[in-house]
Amino acid sequence: MRHNTGIDMKCALLTVFLALASTTFALDGEIGIHDPSTIVVDHGKYYVYGTGGRSLVSDDGWTWRRGVTPSRVGAAPDVIYLGDRFYMYVARGTGPQPKAEIDMIWSKTVDPNSPDYKWVDGGMVVNSNGVEDSNAIDPGVFLDPTTGRLWLVYGSYFGYIRLVELNPKTGGRLSFKVPPLNLAINCEASDMIYHDGWYYLLATHGSCCAGANSGYNIRVGRSRKVTGPFLDAEGVDMIQGGGKLLIGSGGRTIGAGHFGLLNLGDGVQKFSMHWEADLDRGGSSVLDIRPLLWKDGWPVAGENLKEGTYEIQSVRTGTALDMAVEGVPVGGWVRRFRGGPPPAGNRTEPSSGPGAGAQPGGPGGPGGPSGGFPGGMFAGTGKPIPDQDAAQIDKDWPAGNVDAGMSNYLCQAQQKWQITPVPDAGGYPGSPYFKITIAGTDRTLAATADAELVVLPAFTGAPEQLWRFDQLADGSWRIMPKAVPNSQQPLALSAVGASFATLSKFDPKSDKQRWLLKTP
């Protein structure tokens, strides 16, 4: 946020946040928050803290509710779990801006129902005197996974984004004798992450706190050293205002700010942020969680899955998930298809329209030299062939359970999956659970008790019929059932063969459980 009107005024503004029920975008439940911290997980619940003492809690990362205000209320806190403690860093104004300080509190748990829930003051870790080129707000705490050293970046538009080292055993400042190091300028809400040999400094550019007129956007630079310099993709140092865009306004959401990494393990990374204005929620500031992808050494903001009809294609095999029924070529059977059609009693052949023109024995028919088309076997019908949908060909489909399979994608109805969010079925960080049905039908993909796949005749809402889609770092998707009967182990859709899919433990090093979702 742009801190030019005083923290107190900012807090006052935040009190007008609307507590809106979920509509159609971002997360579900009560998600009003500004300047969210990094999301932390404690005893299976997700917690996030924002300016003005606002906190949110969720059982699944999808549906959120109001949480308990921590002992210290201020601006734009950040939280990290280290050792056996949660350390929270939170800023407060100590005079006219930019006079401020960042204080630390800690607790063994962030679960207010736990007997161990007790915030303890850890003291001030950094301040700004109101004159220097720094505003000691907007902390971002970072544990270097390569060294175990703990760092804090902080600052706002008044002066520099700065770096100080903390004591990982106490969460406090390691040495007040070591002056802060300047890393960036013309930004705020900074945070740092490490990925594949690089340190990434993420910071928010643009103006905040103006609702739908907020220009907030998250940008990034990288360095081989935690101390910088952090250059963007064009080589511009962030200390000269550089920064590659990670995410900005889009769709019906405006003003992206306050990056926080949410590492879900197995290479699945997401990030939290807030929108300054969600137009579907009256322009209120709301929490969001997005997939974090990587391309050419740079983080990229992914998209949570949207409802639609998709081909589900295996990265490993290139074949597409289908319901294992005998396919019918789009446009109907004609003799040019090698191997020929099945006997007449088992085929679906349009009585009119594309594919219906081939007359046995005629000059363009199966027996003729043109192979079924007047212009020759490669000439087509001369007019567009409509899409194939289930209603055209499903009369020969078995009524009961059908195996799932895989095949080369041929635009056929049994290869097109409608993926639809299921209301009130819960979710996971960033998304609700979905059902996966053959488009135009209620035939539903489900996990079986022997960890295989089946297509059921109808959706009933059982956990094994609910699916989770996590976008992976390369943009492909991990697809997992909410539950597998008789199994406690999370399993993912897996292409064990080119023609066969199953469920198995996710292996982040393999392509077997990576899927592309393509719009037919």
- Window 452-471: contact mask with other proteins (x via CB under 8 A): x-------------------
Instruction: Name which of 476 and 513 has its Cβ closer to other proteins.
Output: 513
For the chain, state the CA radius of gyration: 28
Instruction: Say whether residue 339 binds other proteins (CB under 8 A).
Output: yes
Could you tell me which residues are beta bridge partners of residue 55?
49
Nearest-approach distance from CB 452 to other proteins, in angstroms:
5
Strand stretches in 155-314, DSSP E: 160-166, 181-185, 188-195, 198-205, 217-223, 244-247, 253-263, 269-278, 284-295, 298-301, 308-314
The CA-atom distances, in angstroms, between 347 and each of 124, 335, 390, 443 are 77, 13, 14, 21
CA 473/CA 484 separation, integer angstroms: 25
User: Quick one: which of 172, 353, 497, 520 contacts other proteins (CB under 8 A)?
Assistant: 497
Nearest-approach distance from CB 319 to other proteins, in angstroms:
9
User: Quick one: which of 96, 343, 361, 369 contacts other proteins (CB under 8 A)?
Assistant: 343
Instruction: Name which of 107 and 502 has its Cβ closer to other proteins.
Output: 502
CA 43/CA 327 separation, integer angstroms: 48
User: Quick one: which of 504, 511, 516, 520 contacts other proteins (CB under 8 A)?
Assistant: 504
Which of the ranges 123-131, 381-389, 444-452, 484-492 carries the binding residues for other proteins, by CB under 8 A?
A: 444-452
Q: What angle do CA 51, 40, 180 make, to 5 degrees?
A: 65
Contact at 8 Å (CB) between 215 and 247? no
User: Quick one: which of 144, 229, 500, 520 contacts other proteins (CB under 8 A)?
Assistant: 500
Give the distance, in angstroms, between the CA of residue 142 and the centroid of all CA atoms in the same chain. 21
Instruction: Say whether residue 342 binds other proteins (CB under 8 A).
Output: yes
Instruction: Say whether residue 502 binds other proteins (CB under 8 A).
Output: yes
In the 8-state DSSP scheme, what is residue 180?
P
Instruction: Say whether residue 451 binds other proteins (CB under 8 A).
Output: yes
Nearest-approach distance from CB 408 to other proteins, in angstroms:
9
Other Cβ atoms closer than 10 A to 304? 21
Instruction: Say whether residue 264 binds other proteins (CB under 8 A).
Output: no
- Window 305-334: contact mask with other proteins (x via CB under 8 A): ---------------------x--------
Nearest-approach distance from CB 347 to other proteins, in angstroms:
8
User: Quick one: which of 43, 177, 225, 338 contacts other proteins (CB under 8 A)?
Assistant: 338
